[in-house]
């Protein structure tokens, strides 16, 4: 039997979940598979820091401490980004919204732009696993590809498979900062699970499985939307 895949004309997805649950890893694969723009607010800030822009200056302290960048700044960036032409067929938001205020601001932004979110994929993962994932995460300094020293290692240690760039450890992936990020997630972000549950668009996905299995479960959730 030939299983027919559903092709969507528009798809707007939010990836929710604690730091290290696998949002970025899954967003890359989903965006390739579904041909959607991947918008990571964390990546936008890291790029701004690298380029020493005023946004980067504003964000750096918060990020290094594992705190959240102020809501208004993040919301404005996302509002601008989703209006760009490449988002006309949809997008995957990775790391936004992250507070009740951001979620309300985003509802208003979506309303103004006559858009809606199709699904919120909430990636779950327990804290011990998160700590081992984040302490072992390595990122390519050139293309941003993400690896894990043991779970998802590069072919050649310390070198990116895709572009041969050097891999480094993120400043906020030190254990104390990870603990603070988890605390911030529990205090400021976890409430969004109920927020989107009440809108009937939340699907929880087990992020502790091997990445391919998590991906398949996410695709099942997306395909079942039709
Ligand atoms: P951001 O970059 O968004 O970080 P985060 O949410 O803390 O998420 P992470 O990138 O740490 O984790 P992830 O879930 O993407 O996991 P990954 O796929 O990499 O934000 C950073 C900072 O920017 C924030 O602290 C804040 O300061 C600021 N910021 C960003 N957005 C903001 C907002 N909206 N408001 C305010 N401030 C904001 O995976 C982790 C590791 O696990 C990797 O090594 C990976 O290879 C491995 N892995 C992934 N999946 C699997 C698997 N299934 N099995 C085994 N290993 C796996």
* DSSP code per residue over 14-77: EEE--TTSSHHHHHHHHHHHHT-EEEEHHHHHHHHHHTT-HHHHHHHHHHHHTPPPPHHHHHHH
Cα 22 to Cα 39: distance, rounded to the nearest angstrom: 15
pLDDT band at 9 (very low <50, low <70, confident <90, very high): low
| Strand partners of residue 30 | none
Query: Ligand 1 centroid to 4 CA: how many Å?
Result: 32
**Ligand 1, atom nearest to 214 Cα:** 53
The residues that are catalytic are 23, 98, 137, 170, 181
pLDDT tens digits for range 116-144 = 999 999 999 999 999 999 999 999 999 99
Average pLDDT over residues 33-40: 96
133 touches ligand 1 (CB under 6 Å): yes
- The verdict on the CB of residue 214 being under 6 Å from ligand 1 is yes
Q: Does ligand 1 lie within 6 Å of residue 61's CB atom?
A: no
Query: In angstroms, how far is CA 118 from the centroid of its own chain?
Result: 16
* 145 has a pLDDT exceeding 60: yes
At 10, is the pLDDT very low, low, confident or very high (cuts 50, 70, 90)?
confident
Residues in Cβ contact with 5 at an 8 Å cutoff, skipping those fewer than 6 apart? 223
Helix (H, G, I), strand (E, B) or coil at 139: strand
4-18, 99-113, 114-128, 132-146, range with the lowest pLDDT:
4-18
Entry pTM = 0.94
For residue 2, pLDDT over 70 is answered with no
Per-residue pLDDT, 5: 53
Residue 211 CB–ligand 1 contact under 6 Å: yes
pLDDT at res. 95? 96
Q: Please name which of 35, 3, 16 lies closest in space to residue 119, comparing C-alpha atoms.
A: 16
Q: Ligand 1 center to residue 74 CA distance, Å?
A: 16
Determine the Cα–Cα distance for residues 50 and 126; give it in Å rounded to an integer: 31
Under DSSP, is residue 86 helix (H, G, I), strand (E, B) or coil?
helix
How large is the average pLDDT for residues 27-49? 96
């Amino acid at each position: 039997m030939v299983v027919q895949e559903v092709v969507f004309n528009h798809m707007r997805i939010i990836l929710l979940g604690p730091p290290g649950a696998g949002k970025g890893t899954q967003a890359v694969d989903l965006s390739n598979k579904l041909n959607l723009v991947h918008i990571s607010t964390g990546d936008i800030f890291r790029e701004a820091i690298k380029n020493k822009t005023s946004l980067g200056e504003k964000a750096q302290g918060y990020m290094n401490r594992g705190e959240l960048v102020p809501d208004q700044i993040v919301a404005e960036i996302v509002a601008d980004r989703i209006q760009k032409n490449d988002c006309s067929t949809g997008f995957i938001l990775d790391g936004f919204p992250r507070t009740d205020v951001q979620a309300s601001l985003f509802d208003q932004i979506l309303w103004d732009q006559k858009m809606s979110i199709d699904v919120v994929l909430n990636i779950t993962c327990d804290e011990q696993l998160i700590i081992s994932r984040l302490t072992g995460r390595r990122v390519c300094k050139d293309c941003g590809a993400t690896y894990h020293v043991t779970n998802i290692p590069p072919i050649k240690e310390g070198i990116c498979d895709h572009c041969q760039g050097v891999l480094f450890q993120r400043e906020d992936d030190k254990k104390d900062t990870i603990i603070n990020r988890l605390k911030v997630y529990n205090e400021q972000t976890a409430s969004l699970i109920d927020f989107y549950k009440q809108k009937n668009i939340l699907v929880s996905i087990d992020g502790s499985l091997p990445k391919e299995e998590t991906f398949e479960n996410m695709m099942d959730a997306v395909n079942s939307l039709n």
